[in-house]
Amino acid sequence: MTPAEQSLKAAEICRLAPVVPVIVVEDLAHAAPLARALVAGGLPALEVTLRTPAALEAIRAMADVEGGVVGAGTLLTPADVKAAKAAGAKFGVSPGATDRLLDACAEYDLPLLPGAATASEIMALLEKGYTVQKFFPAEQAGGAPYLKSIGSPIPQVKFCPTGGISLKNARDYLGLSNILCVGGSWVVPKDALARGDWAEVTRLAAEARALR
């Protein structure tokens, strides 16, 4: 899958809803009910970070949830890409980008939302054909004002900013012409997960859905 084809797919996924939940699954039993709760609230695109031993199995479990589009986040290596694809991930997300990682996404046909944080990183990815990128870590790297400034010289790149975004500041990003959606973990609070409070997750998802 070429970078241009990957970005087309990534754009399609980013346009499904204003927010992509960034999910850390510690307990595999949470995976399916959590995905159902988020989809019920109106957030179909889900990013499961490969940061816990349960992550790949969680992707497998969530991939069966109707209406969901489950991807793998925190992709760092070609092995991560291979494992994510095998688990059923429909897309990938990475905090940054390396040639080895990008080559693996082409090889395994995994649409990637590659991370970038500077003008040169954004340009390097654009040169390869990635017109849809993750801006990370969004708040720490300059936030919405930075993305607005980047949109003047490089309007052809669209972003999913992630990192430090919540209900409070999401609208600052979503109002910009170069933003497709935002990513964030605030819709999946640890305490709600621990309690198995799926109604609360659905409420937070619906609130996020209503941002746009």
Residues within the interface to ligand 3PG (CB under 6 A): 22, 136, 162-165, 184-186
Q: Least Å distance between CB 4 and ligand 3PG?
A: 25
Based on the residue annotation, tell me whether 47 is a catalytic residue of this protein.
yes
Q: Which is nearer to ligand 3PG, 2 or 171 (CB)?
A: 171
Residue pair 25/1 in contact by the 8 Å Cβ criterion: no
Q: Which is nearer to ligand 3PG, 142 or 164 (CB)?
A: 164
* CB-nearest residue to ligand 3PG: 185
Catalytic residue among 9, 47, 90, 139: 47
Sheet strands (E) in the chain: 19-23, 45-49, 69-73, 92-93, 112-113, 115-116, 132-135, 158-161, 182-184
Based on the residue annotation, tell me whether 158 is a catalytic residue of this protein.
no
Q: Which is nearer to ligand 3PG, 111 or 184 (CB)?
A: 184
Residues 6+ apart with CB under 8 A from 182: 18, 19, 20, 138, 160, 161, 162, 165, 170, 173, 174
Residue 134 in 3-state DSSP?
Answer: strand
Residue 121 to residues 48, 58, 96, Cα–Cα distance (Å): 24, 31, 9
Q: Least Å distance between CB 141 and ligand 3PG?
A: 11
Q: Which is nearer to ligand 3PG, 3 or 163 (CB)?
A: 163
Scan for tokens 């209900």, then name that residue.
167
Catalytic residue among 9, 134, 139, 158: 134
Q: Least Å distance between CB 66 and ligand 3PG?
A: 26
Q: What strands, in cross-sheet order, belong to the sheet with 182-184?
A: 112-113, 92-93, 69-73, 45-49, 19-23, 182-184
The residues annotated as belonging to the active site are 47, 134
